[in-house]
Structure 1
Amino acid sequence: MARIGVEQSLTDVKEALMEMGHEVIDLKSEADTAHCDCCVITGLDQDVMGMSNTSIAGPVISAEGQDAQAICQMVNDKLS
């Protein structure tokens, strides 16, 4: 399965993705995104300064306003 980077506070999302068979890593710094197929962020600090620099070539999914199941579905949709 895919390697998914998930922000530390999204415990329910991490657990759901692991149950689906994905490899899940904690995003503690920008360097953690280097080898991820997809990243899930809280969305709370997304593009705060109007900058859109990214260090990942894959999709970045904002978890803001979504439950774990909806996020898992978005991850699977982006990776298929």
Structure 2
Amino acid sequence: MPRIGIEQSLTDVQEALQSKGYDVKQLQQEQDANDCDCCVITGQDQNVMGVQNVATQGSVINAHGLSAEEICQKVDERFQH
């Protein structure tokens, strides 16, 4: 199952993804995203300084304005073959 990295404040999303069988890891530091297939971020501090460093080769989902179920749907879409 793909490994999903999520920001710490998204506990409802973490629980929803774990219930679907995903391997979920909290992102504490930027390098935590290195071994994730997909990351879910809150979007609140997205690119504040105008600097973009690629921390993961996986996709990134901005959770801003989305429910936990909507985020789960977006993650599912990324990994359907």
TM-score, normalised on structure 2? 0.94
SS in 2 for 1:60: strand
Structure 2 equivalent of residue 18 of structure 1: 18
Q: Displacement, 1:6?
A: 0.6
1:21 aligned partner, one-letter code: G
Structure 2 equivalent of residue 72 of structure 1: 72
TM-score, normalised on structure 1? 0.95
Provide the rounded CA distance (Å) in 1 between the counterparts of 2:38 and 2:23. 11
SS in 1 for 2:78: helix
| RMSD, aligned α-carbons | 0.8
Q: Which runs of 5+ in 1 are unaligned?
A: none
Q: Which runs of 5+ in 2 are unaligned?
A: none
Aligned residue runs from structure 1 range 34-45, under 5 A: 34-45=34-45
Deviations 1:8-65 (A, max 9, x none): 0000000000000000001000111111000000000001122222210010101000
SS in 2 for 1:34: helix
Provide the rounded CA distance (Å) in 2 between the counterparts of 1:60 and 1:44. 14
Residue correspondences, number? 80
